[in-house]
Amino acid sequence: MLYGITQWLQAGRALSAEQASLLLLPLTLLSAVLVRPISRRNLVRGPLIVSAVSCLAASAGVLFLARGSPIAGIVAVTLLFGVALGTAASGNQTALYGQASAADQIGTASGLFRTFGYIGSIASSALISITFRTSVTDHGLHVIAVIMIAVSAVTLLMTLADRRLRGPGRSRVPRPPLPRPGPRNGPAGSGTPR
């Protein structure tokens, strides 16, 4: 979305880079606002479901975008993507810490998390280069939207079917163990507990 919509705004709607950036600013702000309350509650399942549903709705909204679409419509679609981005970022990060419970697993899990993020970026760039091969058109944008709808639907089904995301949105982040009270020694040399 970030790559395709930006390119479409500039080439398809003839907006400047500054104007296109300003249209995407509400997306960034909304996603940043959503991350904090979600991450403070250690939520996983609920945010991931909201993210998939939002992405599905936003992708369907892209089908209705055209060169003559009002700016308010474009901002509304990007705000839905902002909800998807903010909830997914927080939910996935919390899930990562829940799955990698041992300290020595965090580095590997974080590396894999970033690797798959890069693979997604590469895949989206490849998709955009195929659909906008000769020119940036509304039809190409709609092809991207159809693919995004399919991916969002699969993601939603996988999230709903994942039984490891237990509870109504609570994560499986392990709680640190409570310190065990041990015997306290009495006066020096006595060997008797207090």
* Cα–Cα distance measured from residue 151 to residue 155, given in angstroms and rounded to the nearest whole number: 6
Burial of 139 (0-12, 13-18, 19+ CB in 10 A): exposed
The arithmetic mean of pLDDT across residues 13-30, rounded, is 91
**pLDDT confidence of 163, banded at 50, 70, 90?**
confident
pLDDT in tens, 80-104: 999 999 999 999 888 888 777 777 7
Give pLDDT, residue 171. Answer: 42
* Helix H or strand E encompassing 98: helix 71-99
Mean pLDDT over each residue of the chain, to the nearest integer = 85
The alpha carbon torsion through 127, 45, 26, 139 (nearest 10 deg) reads 30
* Cα–Cα distance measured from residue 88 to residue 38, given in angstroms and rounded to the nearest whole number: 10
Residue extents of the structural domains in the chain: 2-161
pTM of the model: 0.79
* Cα–Cα distance measured from residue 7 to residue 124, given in angstroms and rounded to the nearest whole number: 13
* Cα–Cα distance measured from residue 86 to residue 60, given in angstroms and rounded to the nearest whole number: 19
Question: Is pLDDT above 80 for 186?
Answer: no
The arithmetic mean of pLDDT across residues 154-171, rounded, is 76
Question: Is pLDDT above 70 for 182?
Answer: no
Question: Is pLDDT above 90 for 43?
Answer: no
Cβ atoms of 80 and 61 within 8 Å: the answer is yes
Tokens encoding 14: 């003839």
pLDDT in tens, 58-76: 999 999 999 999 999 999 9
154: number of Cβ within 10 Å: 11
Please calculate the CA angle 20-23-27 and round it to the nearest 5 degrees: 125
